[in-house]
């Protein structure tokens, strides 16, 4: 789901960098000192989670956990996701430096949407967790589709990205399992 440098139009990348800078400012301002280790831990968890591959149907997938980041960090997920993507771009070359803003906006929007869903307390927790995990993938995939179309790709790219619906369903399931474990063992993480 990480867009590498050279694929998306450079103007979209520059605009996304500007929006990302504003998002980092608004999401990160007035961060209490005691929140910072929590953000660092969550960032490391997201980074390491991307290294764990789950064998499935002859291939392997890795969880993105952007929905979970939205659940645990709320609006502060954006600076964390930005830092994780910077690490992934530098260390593994997953994504790029010029597309860092685009990727951060995509995943950050997914995490924010997950946060909004998680706040709907009238829904059962299992439904909220599944939907948060699911939306954490669907929103970035939809934004990627738009960015590819703006770059000049044909509308057929929508069919290609529709495959992410399957990934989103698995991510929703995975998020629910993790949330259930947290609720059982250390529920204050979810508050």
Partner 1 sequence: MKHAFIDRYSHLQSPVHRLDARLKFILALLAIAVLVSEPPGKLMPFAFYGAIVLVVLILSRLPVRFFLKRLLILAPFFGMAALFYPLSYWLAGTGLGEDGMQKAVLVALSIFFKALLSVSFLILLISTVKFHDLLAGLRKLRMPKLIGILSALMYRYIFIFWDETLRTNMARNSRTPGNLKMNRFTVYGNQMAMIFLRSWERAHMVYNAMLSRGFDGEFLSFGQKETKRKDIVFGAVFVLLLAAIRVFGGL
Binding site for partner 1 (CB under 8 A): 4-7, 10, 13, 21, 24-25, 28, 31, 36-37, 39-41, 43-45, 47-49, 51-52, 54-56, 63, 65, 79-80, 82-84, 86-87, 89-93, 96-98, 148, 152-157, 159-160, 170, 173-174, 177-178, 181-182, 185-186, 189
H or E segment and range at residue 162: none
**Shortest separation between residue 9's beta carbon and partner 1, angstroms:** 9
**What DSSP line would sit under 32-101, residue for residue?**
-TTHHHHHHHHHHHHHHHTT--EEETTEEE----HHHHHHHHGGGHHHHHHHHHHHHHHHH--S-STTHH
Judged on CB neighbours under 10 Å (0-12, 13-18, 19+), 37 is exposed
In whole angstroms, the minimum distance from the beta carbon of 122 to partner 1 comes to 25
Q: Which is nearer to partner 1, 124 or 156 (CB)?
A: 156
Cβ distance to partner 1 smaller for residue 116 or 177: 177
87: burial class by Cβ within 10 Å (0-12, 13-18, 19+)?
middle
* Cβ nearer to partner 1, comparing 122 with 185: 185
Instruction: Output the smallest distance, CB 12 to partner 1, in A.
Output: 11
Nearer to partner 1, 110 or 172 (CB): 172
- For the bound state, the minimum distance from the C-beta of residue 50 to partner 1, rounded and expressed in Å, comes to 11
Torsion of the alpha carbons at 42, 46, 47 and 49, rounded to the nearest 10: 130
Determine the Cα–Cα distance for residues 38 and 94; give it in Å rounded to an integer.
24
Nearer to partner 1, 13 or 107 (CB): 13
Residue 180 Cβ vs partner 1, minimum distance, rounded to whole Å: 8
């Amino acid at each position: 789901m990480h867009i590498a440098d050279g694929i998306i139009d450079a103007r979209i990348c520059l605009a996304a960098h500007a929006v990302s800078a504003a998002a980092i400012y608004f999401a990160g301002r007035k961060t209490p000192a005691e929140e910072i280790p929590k953000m660092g831990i969550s960032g490391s968890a997201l980074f390491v989670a991307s290294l764990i591959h789950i064998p499935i149907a002859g291939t392997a997938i890795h969880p993105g956990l952007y929905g979970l980041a939205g659940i645990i960090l709320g609006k502060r997920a954006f600076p964390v996701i930005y830092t994780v993507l910077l690490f992934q771009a530098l260390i593994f070359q997953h994504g790029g430096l010029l597309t860092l803003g685009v990727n951060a906006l995509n995943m950050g929007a997914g995490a924010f949407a997950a946060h909004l869903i998680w706040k709907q307390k009238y829904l059962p927790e299992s439904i909220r967790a599944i939907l948060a995990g699911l939306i954490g993938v669907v929103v970035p995939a939809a934004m990627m589709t738009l960015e590819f179309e703006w770059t000049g790709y044909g509308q057929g790219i929508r069919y290609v990205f529709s495959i992410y619906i399957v990934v989103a369903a698995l991510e929703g399931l995975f998020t629910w399992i993790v949330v259930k474990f947290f609720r059982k063992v250390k529920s204050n993480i979810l508050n």
